[in-house]
């Protein structure tokens, strides 16, 4: 029987750097307002990538720009599970996980407006 919900368990490790700062002017703000994604290690095979509605399992470490750690699933000993596309995590993290391969390792630099979760 075909499942209504596709599951994708990603064994990924994401380091998140929340880019928290103030900008001197609007032009500079526009240049620094986008999510930056760096692939640190590609997945072993990439037959399928993470898509809308997938449930992903990831380890996350989050840091502020000054290096202060604000989140670590490693320290909790528990990976983070969430469904892509439903706003269960901050938008920058969700957007940074789309199209990831199993085993891929990424570094995300998330600007402030993508690092805040909307209520609800």
| The two structure tokens encoding residue 75 | 């320290």
114 to each of 2, 40, 97, how far by Cα in Å?
A: 35, 21, 13
- Residue 54: its pLDDT value, please? 95
This model's pTM is above 0.85: no
- Residue 20: its pLDDT value, please? 38
With CA atoms as reference, report the closest residue to 90 among 105, 71, 106: 71
- Residue 106: its pLDDT value, please? 93
Higher pLDDT, 100 or 118: 100
Q: Which residues pair with 13 in a beta bridge?
A: 59, 105
Q: What pLDDT, in 10s, does the model give residues 42-97?
A: 988 788 899 999 999 999 999 888 899 989 999 999 999 999 999 999 999 999 99
Q: What is the CA radius of gyration of the chain?
A: 15
- Please name each of the domains of the chain with its CATH number: 12-22+30-114 (3.10.50.40)
What is the DSSP track for 5-57?
Answer: S-B----EEEEEEE-----SSHHHHHHT-S-EEEEEE--S--SS---TT-EEE
């Amino acid at each position: 029987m075909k499942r209504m919900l596709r599951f994708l368990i990603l064994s990924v490790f994401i380091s998140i750097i929340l880019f928290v700062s103030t900008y001197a002017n609007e032009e500079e703000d526009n240049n620094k307002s986008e999510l930056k994604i760096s692939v640190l290690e590609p997945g072993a095979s990439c037959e399928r990538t993470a898509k809308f509605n997938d449930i992903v399992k990831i380890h996350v470490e989050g840091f502020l720009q000054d290096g202060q750690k604000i989140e670590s699933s490693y320290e909790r000993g528990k990976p983070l599970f969430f469904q892509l596309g439903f706003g269960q995590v901050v938008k920058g993290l969700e957007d940074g996980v789309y199209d990831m391969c199993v085993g891929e390792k990424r570094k995300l630099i998330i600007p402030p407006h993508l690092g805040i979760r909307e209520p609800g």
